[in-house]
Each structure stands twice: as C-alpha cells, then as structure tokens.
Chain A
Amino acid sequence: MKLRIDEYSNLDSPFHRWDARHKLIGLMALIFAFSFVRDLRMLLAMVVVTVIIYIISKLPVSFLLRRLRYPSFFLLAVVLTLPFLSGQTIIMSIGSLDLRQEGLLAALLIATRFLSILTIGLVLFSTTPFLTNIKAMRALGLPAIMADMALLAFRYLQEIGQDLQRMQTSMRLRGLRKRRLSIRGLRILAWLSGSILVRSYEQSEWVYKAMILRGYGHAPHPRGEFHTHSRDVIALCVILTIAAGFIGGDILLGHGSAALLQ
C-alpha cells in the first residue's frame, strides 16, 4: 500500500520554497481563522483566497479531487440533513420535507469552511516532505520524545502495511472468502491484527538494539537545520495579515448574527 504523502513535495512553487516552520505557523493560523468565520459574506473571500493559494502551490487539481473522495460522504450527510432539520424559516417544500433557511445556510457554512480548510491543509502538508515537517515541528518546540516516536512510526508504517497486505493475500490464497460477520470471521480478524502487533513488537526489540549500538541517547537531540530568509518572514507576515483580516472582518460584520446563526 503506497502512502503517497510525498507525491508532489518535489515540485517548485513559492509554497514549496517557503521555510517549513513559517509555513506551519502561517497556514495553520489561516486555517484557524477560516474556522472562526461565521458571516456568510466572508465565505466568498474565503473561497477566493483558497483558490488563489492552491493555484500558486502548483499542486494538481486531480490531487485535490482524490483527497475529497473520502470526506465527501460526511459532507453529503451534512448537506442532505441539516437543511431539513434545522431552523424555523421554511423557504420551500419538497413533498413532505420542508427546506429551512437556517439549515441551508448552516450547511453552506460548514461545507465551505470544510473544503477551504481541507485545501489549505493539503497545500501545507503536500508541499514539504513529511519528514521535513516533523523536523520543523521539532524546531518549533515539539518534544523530542514525540518527534522520535513520529519518525519511527512513519518509518515503519510502510513495512507494517506491507506485512498486512502479504498476510491478507496469503489468507485469500488459502480460500478465505469474502468475510462474513461471524465469530469465525471476527476471530480471523483478531488473529490478523494480533500477528501484526506481535511482529511489530518483536521487530521493535531489534530496532532498539540497533539504536543503542549507534549511540541513541548519547547526544542531545538535533533541532534540525533550518535557515530563515527574509522572504520566509515576509510571507509569514502576509499570511498572518490575511488571517487577521478574516477574523477582524468577521467580527466587524457581526460574526454571523446577521445570518441568523447561533
């Protein structure tokens, strides 16, 4: 199973070239600013900013669409239920279901925020190699134990994933048909999971030996080699200003009270 996390991290765009630490701070701030917005008039600005950022990042649109496949189910659930369940102002009736204004607006708000945050998140984490992002977090103050665990977990994720695939293939080849919900089926899943856990556990003992043989724990944990350029700081200021603009603008416009939201 391929973890295509770093698929597009070697393209070249202003976002790819932005220092990972500044990018983390800037884009996360923007994401939180987006989640703060309640006024419907700010939504348009949110969409525009998101689209511009995505275009600048040079990430392919197909990538974004692929990412949206899984979360769309949730989105669909929200869009299909809220407009019929929430609010008092009925604007339309479809058969026995009443389409309510508040619910519709709430669904619009949720959907827009969700999609914008997902897109910005994609830009944040796909324009830098995953490994570099972990090092950037370490440089920003992530505790060494967390960084060590994240790096090791990431490293062995592929191996363990391949182990799982191999075991599942072998099960299929030995005649295991489509799994049914039965005690036998559940037991097989338990044994499969158990094998994965045991193998990882045993491998970890070897990894520990390998680590101490090369001196693990003897030197202070490196904080990564990042160099700050002025353009990194400028870009950070720009993004933070935009984020502040969203928050300020939303508050000035009444923070959603005009749109009849809670």
Chain B
Amino acid sequence: MLSQELGEPVLTVSGLWFSYPDRPNVLKDISLKVMPGERVGLIGPNGAGKTTLFLGLCGVLKPSTGEIVVLGKPVVNGDFRPEVALVFQNPDDQLFCPSVWDDVAFGPQNTGLSKDEVEARVKKALSIVAGSELADRPVHHLSEGEKRIISIAGVLAMRPQLVIYDEPSANLDIRSRRRLIRLLQASKETILVASHDLELVLEVCNRVVLMDKGSIIADGNPREVMGDDRLMEAHGQEKPHSLVPHQIPHRHSK
C-alpha cells in the first residue's frame, strides 16, 4: 500500500479532453486536483460528462488528450489500479456474482490474497457498511438499499484510497439514504461524489465542483457554489433547500 505523503495530491487531472465516436468533446479541457481526505461533490446536469470523467479516472476509458495521475502514478488505460474504486450508478451492473459473499470477495481474490486474508477483508468491508447479516444471501433477493451498500462493500474490500460514487442515493428510500449519508461521512478515504441529491452533497462534501457540457464551471466551498442562485440556475441546477431562506416557517407544536 502506498502511504500518502502529506501535501501530495491523490488525484491530478491536467487538460483532459474526451470524445466518443458519435459524440465529440464530452469532456473539454478538464483540470482538477484533489488532496487526501477531501470530499468532493460533483454536481451538474445529465450529460455534463461526470460519468465519462469517472471512467477515465479509473482507466476504463482512454482520453483523447490530457493526463490523469493518481497517487503519483499516471493512469494507463487497461491497468488494474485497485487504489481507485468506482461505485456505479446502477448497483445491478456491479453486483455480478450470485451471492453477496462472493461479490465482496471478488476484488480481494483478484489481488492475489490468501484465503484467510480475503475472508478478513470481506468481513471488514461488510461490517463497515453494516451489511454483515447479508453475507449469505443471493444478490437478487436484496432490496435496492441493500444492493447499494453491498456494492459499496465490494469496492471497499479492495482497500482503495480514492472512492468515486456515481449517483449513490438514486432509488434509495429515506432510511437507506440516511444510512448512506452516515457511511459517506464516516469514510476514511478521499471521496468524489456525483449526485443530483444536493442536500446529500451539502451534508457530506467539503468541496463542490460544478460541471456542465464537459467543462468545470465552478469549484469551491459548497455553500458558496451552491448558494449562488444565478450560477446554479444557469447550469440546470437549483439552490438546495437548506440554503434557501424559509418561506414556510416550521411550526413546532408544544
């Protein structure tokens, strides 16, 4: 495990451009630097390029130009970099093993650990997400919320240092969402969270990046970025409720 020197960024993106064969310039000149321990929220309308950026950061997609450096090493398309982990938007895309235990064990098994080490990793990952009692269940018996936390466990079992979450609260009920928020707040890794759930971003993140049409529009303190009405509305967003002065006051009954 690479130990992170203080002051060294976890992630450096420089001048990233990306095009699909049928869609040019999905990402335009993206530059970004993320320091260890940061919790970066990525907001923006659908089609802004967030998922494409994530796939590039993991080495799944090859950029047209530009460089991505994670933990001091450049990301090469096709390399296996377990230090970076991506939690997909749709947990079903990621939970491809028939049982929970097998799925969480998949990553550790591929890093050549011994049987006991794999077992330990799985137990630890499941306990972090509070999913230990689900270990023997078949995946298709899980609820949406359970699928979400198991997909996170599967990724945490690889002990990543940078975890990227793509729309983690989509389709979750209130209780599961609250569990997710607590989990994200307690995470020790550096995290990037793309979400339309702006309240979640406010609660979890200490930095917000606004993207639209492939470019980074704003980058800074969550309250400042998301509290800027004109900026938010210009890019298909709205100010989150918590930052809006109350029109309908709460009436507490006594």
Contact = CB atoms under 8 A, between A and B. Distances in A.
Interface string A210-224: 111111111100100
Contacts, number: 71
Contacts of A158: 140
B187 interface: no
B231 to A, nearest CB: 32
Interface in A186-202: none
B98 A155 contact: yes
B96 A218 contact: no
A155 B85 CA distance: 23
Contacts of B94: 206-207, 210
A7 interface: no
A135 B60 CA distance: 29
Interface in A130-156: 130-131, 151-152, 154-156
A213 B83 CA distance: 10
Contacts of A88: none
B96 A215 contact: no
Contact of B93 (A210, A216, A217): A210
B55 A222 contact: no
A213 B60 CA distance: 8
B138 interface: yes
A211 B94 CA distance: 8
A201 B81 CA distance: 26
A151 B97 contact: yes
A212 B88 CA distance: 13
Contacts of B60: 209, 212-213
A212 B80 contact: yes
Residue of A152, A156, A213, A222 with most chain B CB atoms under a 10 A cut-off: A213
B88 A210 contact: yes
Contacts of A12: none
Contacts of B95: 155
Question: DSSP class of A's interface residues: helix, strand, loop or mixed?
Answer: helix
Nearest to B115: A225
A209 B58 CA distance: 10
A152 B80 contact: no
Interface string A113-135: 00000000000000000110000
Contacts of A156: 96
B109 A219 contact: yes
Given A214-B158, A219-B110, A6 B93 contact: no
A81 interface: no
A116 B115 CA distance: 41
Given A158-B140, A213-B86, A151 B154 contact: no
Nearest to B139: A155
B132 interface: no
Contacts of B115: 225
B242 to A, nearest CB: 33
Contacts of B106: 214-216
B21 interface: no
A216 B110 contact: yes
A151 B94 CA distance: 14
A241 interface: no
Interface in B52-90: 55, 58, 60, 80, 82, 85-86, 88, 90
A154 B98 contact: yes
B84 to A, nearest CB: 8
Contacts of B88: 206, 209-210
A155 B140 contact: yes
B107 interface: yes
Contacts of A210: 88, 93-94, 96
Interface of B: 55, 58, 60, 80, 82, 85-86, 88, 90, 92-99, 102, 106-107, 109-112, 115, 138-140, 154-155, 158
Given A215-B80, A218-B80, 16 more contacts: A130-B98, A131-B99, A151-B98, A152-B96, A155-B97, A207-B96, A209-B88, A212-B60, A212-B80, A213-B58, A214-B107, A214-B110, A214-B155, A215-B106, A215-B110, A219-B111
Of all A-B residue pairs in the complex, the 8 with the closest CB atoms, nearest first, are A215-B110, A206-B93, A158-B140, A214-B107, A210-B94, A219-B110, A218-B110, A155-B98
